[in-house]
Amino acid sequence: MNWWKYLLLVLFPLIIQTVVFPHLALFGVVPNLILLITICFGLLEGIRPGLYMGILGGLCLDLASSGILGINIIALGALGFGAGYLEKMVFKGYLLVPICLVQVGTVLAELFTYCILLAFGWRINFLSFLGSTLLPLCLYHLLLTGPVYYGLKKGLAYLKERQKVGALH
Amino acid sequence: MLQPFVQKKVFLVTLVVCFLVVTGLMFYSSQDREEELGLEKVFKIILYPFQKGVYYITTFVTDSWETVNTLGTLYRENNEMRKQISEMVTELSQLEQLKAENERLRELLRFKLTSPLELVPVEVIARNPSNTGATLTIDKGSNAGLTRNMPVITTEGLAGRLLNVEPFSAEVILLTDPRPGNSISGVIERTRELVYIYGGGKKGTCLVKPSDLSVRLQTGDRILTSASSLYFPKNLLIGAIVEVEESADGFEQQAYLKPAVDFSRIEYLYVVREK
């Protein structure tokens, strides 16, 4: 896949995440579309594409959020790598696989972010973080994994088909 | 034969180098920075027109939906407001007479105006993509004369201050943002005693700590900005205390403050600029 396709796959959800989803917040929480896409993409495409998507997505998230640069690069890079590693081990047509993986990924990424922020002196109450951020976020991701996974699968299949047709011509 | 092994090794070395660079970046960016990195600035400048475009589409759709849903109510409200406007026109002419009289008296007494502040209206176009940070992107920047640390308010009270300013947009750090350095001083309206307010703690609240042990906090206390504040004009409403915690011996206190502004519904803000 070309680099600009990766960029488009990251920037479009990022804009939707920052502009549209605040209007659709669930218990005050906005879903992390980049995380969803990274895991689904890794699961569909393998280790390297998953890793690249995670690093690029994490970089864009970090640049847009004005926080500590690098947290999302590490978290999403690792998740993309992990999801890509599982690509050949699991049956991809079964929706339960991306759903479970996204849930585990969300918990790991959020806990990692929480620990780093805490280490750098951010004042976040753990119980409040657990009840007001992590649980609603898992619930939101549970609702969105299906549409994102199938949308991405269809989109990637369409792109590959077009590439094949282009190569034949 | 050795090629895959070498390739794997190069890949792993690249990953380790990237990890080290990112860790260094984390330490660097965790400090309170006067200026953003060039890459951050460029990324935000590129992202802004797309965010604004999507914002206008979203606003158009939500506004149209709301208008269709509330058409009947709007008609009744419209009639009611027409009546109120005709009453207010009379009041306004009386107020203008009073204003003119006030100005004449001020001139006679050579009284200096107490509020040399100007409000710049701005619109919220995007929010922080993470759920831990509490920042907003607004549609005006250094081109409209905005600079870092200018106070941001709404009609309900204080919202925060400007964190980063780009030419066409700016980022507002809200009172509830939990990063270190996001703190202000305030006074209890009831006693005029000094307290310190820190962003964070429980989600959607701020942490309040008294300036010394003699200061006692109570649930329901309203907190205002203090005259000793670096960036904020005094006597702006910050919020009210909703919960007070005491140490086992009862000497030390800390409290949670609910900001006067509802940040989840915020759409329009004012940046306070000195005239």
pLDDT digits (tens, 9 = 90+) for B81-103: 998 998 898 889 889 888 888 88
> Count of A–B CB contacts within 8 Å?
136
Q: How far apart are CA B36 and CA A63, in angstroms?
A: 10
Interface of B with A in 174-193 (CB under 8 A): 178-180
From the list B193, B117, B126, the residue with the least C-alpha distance to B151 is: B117
Q: How far apart are CA A37 and CA A54, in angstroms?
A: 9
Residues in B closer than 8 angstroms to A69, CB to CB, are 22, 25-26, 28-29, 37, 40
Q: How far apart are CA B188 and CA A69, in angstroms?
A: 37
Q: How far apart are CA B82 and CA B103, in angstroms?
A: 31
* Cβ contact B23–A70 (<8 Å): yes
pLDDT at residue B112 tops 70:
no
* Cβ contact B130–A125 (<8 Å): no
pLDDT score at A111: 94
Instruction: Give Cα B61 distance to the centre of its chain.
Output: 26
Is the complex ipTM more than 0.90?
no
pLDDT at residue B33 tops 80:
no
Band (A157; pLDDT cuts 50, 70, 90):
confident
Nearest to B26 among A14, A69, A125 (CB): A69
pLDDT at residue B162 tops 90:
yes
CA–CA min distance A169, chain B (Å): 33
CB distance B241 to B217 below 8 Å: yes
The partner residues of B116 in beta bridges, in order of sequence, read none
What residues contact A65, with CB distance under 8 A and at least 6 apart?
A: A72, B128, B129, B130, B133, B135
Cβ of residue B39 closer than 8 Å to a chain A Cβ? yes
Residues in A closer than 8 angstroms to B36, CB to CB, are 66
CA–CA min distance B153, chain A (Å): 20
pLDDT score at A105: 94
Query: In this prediction, what percent of chain B has a pLDDT beyond 70?
Result: 96
CA–CA min distance B151, chain A (Å): 18
pLDDT at residue B113 tops 70:
no
B230: exposed, middle or buried (Cβ count in 10 Å: 0-12, 13-18, 19+) = exposed
* Cβ contact B264–A25 (<8 Å): yes
Nearest to A121 among B25, B130, B180 (CB): B180
Cβ of residue B162 closer than 8 Å to a chain A Cβ? no
> Which residue is listed with tokens 């218990």?
A27
DSSP states of A30-96: ---HHHHHHHHHHHHH-HHHHHHHHHHHHHHHHHHHTS-TTHHHHHHHHHHHHHHHTTTTS-TT-TH
* Cβ contact B55–A120 (<8 Å): no
Taking residues B171-186, what's their average pLDDT? 90
- CA-based nearest residue in chain A for residue B256: A125
Q: Report the SS3 class of residue B242.
A: strand
DSSP states of B96-109: HHHHHHHHHHHHHH
pLDDT digits (tens, 9 = 90+) for A135-151: 999 999 999 999 999 99
* Cβ contact A19–B126 (<8 Å): yes
The partner residues of B271 in beta bridges, in order of sequence, read B120, B152
CA–CA min distance B84, chain A (Å): 32
Whether this model's pTM surpasses 0.95: no
What residues contact B210, with CB distance under 8 A and at least 6 apart?
A: B193, B194, B195, B196, B216, B217, B253
B211: exposed, middle or buried (Cβ count in 10 Å: 0-12, 13-18, 19+) = middle
Band (B114; pLDDT cuts 50, 70, 90):
low
pLDDT score at A67: 83
Query: In this prediction, what percent of chain A has a pLDDT beyond 90?
Result: 53
Band (A169; pLDDT cuts 50, 70, 90):
low
CB distance A47 to A87 below 8 Å: yes
| Among A137-151, B19-33, B138-152, the least confident range | B19-33
Comparing A166 with B19, the larger pLDDT belongs to B19
Taking residues A125-141, what's their average pLDDT? 92
